[in-house]
Every structure is written in C-alpha cells, then in structure tokens.
Structure 1
Amino acid sequence: MDSLKATMLQAVSGMQLQSKRIDITSQNVSNADTPGYRRKVLTIEQAPSSGSAFMQTRIDLDESEGERRYDPASPMSDAEGYVTSSNVSLVTEMADMREANRSYEANLNSFRQARSMYQSLLDVLRR
C-alpha cells in the first residue's frame, strides 16, 4: 500500500475514533442530571492484527459512585430514602470533548494534506 493511501486511511480511522469519543461525551453531558446514570468511557485497544493502524473500541461504564443525597419524597429514592446522582463531571466531559475535537481536527488536516499531495501527483502525471 502506498504511503499516501496509508496516511489517508490512518487519518480516517482517527477521525472515526474521535467521532465516537465526541458521541460518548455528548451522551454523558446530556445525562449528567439523570439520577443513577453511570458515565460511559470509551476504551481503545490495538486491533489484533499486528501492523494494523485500526483500533478496536469498547464502551465501558465508570464504576465510581455518584453522590448520594437524602430525599425520601423522590420516586428515585432507595429503601433508605437516598437518591444516587450520576457520576458525570461536566468539567471532565468538557475537557474530553475539547481534546477529541482537537484530535479530530489534526486528523482532518493530515487527510487534507495527503489529498493535496495526491492531487499534485496527478497534476504532474497529466502533463
């Protein structure tokens, strides 16, 4: 496989990965006020074939506990009258979102550069 094509495929793989991160983060932000919601975490692993640029992803739940507050009148309260809030930290989610966004842009710039090089090569070959 030529290096320009490999660069473009790696950039596409990176953009897909960052898109998944942004999706997971947006789900966490939208459920930050949902009692009992557990934060989703995207786990990234190298693909089984060695030398592959593609990654495998898995969505796990953050096992940390949310804050418990006493509210026996709430329909979400347990037998003791406590409601467990979500374990989502908006500060953490916004930092993750910013990092994923910047990584996506870096992969997009890499893809554009490879595409531009391909276009230049085609222009030279047409002459």
Structure 2
Amino acid sequence: MGFFDGYNVATSGMSAQRTRINVVSANIANAKTTHTAEGGPYKKQQVVFEDVLVANSKKRTNSNDIEVTNSPLSELSLRGVGVKKIIQTDAKPVLRYDPTHPDANEKGYVAYPDINPVVEMVDLIEAMRSYEANVTAFNTHRGIDTKTLDIIAGN
C-alpha cells in the first residue's frame, strides 16, 4: 500500500458521494416538475457506483513468499470508488386530478414524477453521512501520517 492510497480512497469516496448528493437534490427539487424539455414529467435519477481497481506492480506475498490468494483479482488493488453512471428510473408517473393545471390531459389528470420526498431525504442524509465518514477517514490518515513524520524527525 502506498503512502497516498488512504487519501485516494477517501477523496474518491467524497467525490462519489458529492455526485450522489447532487442527484438526490435534483430529485427533490423536481418532485413536482410535470413538464421537461423532453416532454412529460421529470424522471427520478439514481447513481450507480463502481470500485476503481488498478494493477499492482508486484505480486502480493506473505513472509514465506507464498501467494496470499488464488483469486484472479490478486493482481488488482483497490484505489477507491467512482461513479459508473447516472440512470433514470422507469417508474410510471403518478396521475393526480387537477383539471386547472396547464399540463392536465383531456380527462383532467396531471402526470407527476414518482418521487417520494421522504425517501429522497433519507437517501440524502445517508449520502451526507457517507461523505462525512470519508472526511473522517481522510483526517485520521492525515493524523497518522503527521505522527509518523514526527516520530521519524525525532520530535
């Protein structure tokens, strides 16, 4: 493990959670949007994460020079998390009767996005807590490195 690996993992987690926070915020902001540029109501979006792996320059071995794992992934090392893609859900719109609304159909129903603000708020809180956990991991790693450098310097 390299000196900066802990920082890289934590910052990639913060970046991924920031994207998630932005997407959930957009869902909440558009919970009542009945007409978009594409036509129809807003469609809820979700973030899909992926692990970010890179190849190791040497084989992982223990003190007896025996390979640690027979896994085909043994040559890969975790470097963090990334955003694979942002997808739109296929949820059907919710129809509400409001004949005075400009987007009402001929029967007086308006198509609203199927977005539950309570569920979105819970998702937002979870993303914020995950972001905070990554900040804590980053700060802990920094504290360990600072103490290590103090010991090496003889302070």
Range of TM-score over shorter length: 0.7 to 0.9
1:12-46 Cα distance to aligned partner (Å, 9 max, x none): 11111111111111111111111211111111233
Q: Which residue matches 2:140?
A: 113
Structure-to-structure mapping, 1:39-54, within 5 angstroms: 39-47=44-52, 50-52=76-78, 53-54=80-81
Q: Distance in 2 between matches of 1:83 and 1:69?
A: 5
CA distance in 2, matches of 1:46, 1:77: 44
Is 1:67 matched up with 2:72?
A: no
Give the 5 Å matches for 1:71-86: 71-86=98-113
Q: Secondary structure at the match of 2:77?
A: coil
Number of aligned positions between the proteins: 126
CA pair 28-85 structure 1, distance change in 2 beyond 3 A: same
Write the distance in 2 (CA, Å) between the matches of 1:48 and 1:116.
26
Q: Which residue of 2 aligns with 1:33?
A: 32
What is the rounded CA distance, in whole Å, between the counterparts of 2:141 and 2:8 in structure 1? Answer: 10
Q: Measure how far apart 1:68 and its partner are.
A: 0.6
The normalised TM-score by structure 1 is 0.86
Query: Highest Rg: 1 or 2?
Result: 2
Name the SS for the 2:50 alignment partner.
strand
* Alignment correspondent of 1:16: 15
Could you tell me the TM-score, scaled by structure 2's length?
A: 0.72
Say if 1:43 and 1:57, in contact at 8 Å, map to a contact too.
yes
Secondary structure class of the residue paired with 1:51: strand
Q: Quote the offset at 1:10 in angstroms.
A: 0.3
Give 5+ residue unaligned stretches, structure 1.
none
- RMSD over aligned CA atoms reads 1.9
CA-to-partner distance for each residue in 1:22-79, whole Å, 9 max, x for gaps? 1111111111111211111111233475434332331111111121123343221234
What secondary structure sits across from 2:142 in the alignment?
helix
Q: Flag structure 2 segments of 5+ consecutive residues without an equivalent.
A: 35-40, 55-75
Higher helix share: 1
